[in-house]
Amino acid sequence: MKQLENTADQVVDLYTDGACKGNPGVGGWGVLMRYGQVEKALSGGEPATTNNRMELLAVIQGLRALKRACKVRVHTDSRYVQQGISEWLPNWMRRGWKTAAGGAVKNQDLWQALAREASRHEVEWHWVKGHAGHAGNERADALANEGVRSMLGGMP
């Protein structure tokens, strides 16, 4: 991405999505990064994972790709990601990574990585309805599915 100036009106938009063929199964993640008229697409995959892990990894990879601290709007169709980072994470951390019921938090490794990456930036979290024609979300979904195909050797 282009170097960002430190002005209040410049924001990087990250449109993120995860995909999984079987759950667990072969998974992929995708990120569309947009800064003004500049776009960058990222995708990847894992051979054995879950959809929630791919949703988290998409956001982590998008934030990691930013070379310096930025104002960021993360657009996700995952309530798990949006509610997790906005509502559940502070409580998990306070309770030593235990859920309200006392069990271990699932995907703790990725939640910790997401918390680290998000702390480097000024982040707004936005939930968007998936598969509803939102252009950024549809592109992130296509990138996530590219990630799945890359794990399957190009097969659909």
Mention every residue, 6+ apart, whose C-beta is less than 8 A from residue 85. Answer: 114, 115, 118, 125
Decide the pairing of beta strands 71-76 and 12-22.
Answer: parallel
Q: Residues 17, 77: contact at Cβ < 8 Å?
A: yes
C-alpha–C-alpha distance, residues 54 and 10, integer Å: 28
Tokens of 122: 């000024």
Give the active site residues: 17-18, 55, 77, 131, 141
Tokens of 47: 């051979």
Tokens of 143: 């990138």
C-alpha–C-alpha distance, residues 132 and 37, integer Å: 23
Tokens of 58: 């998409």
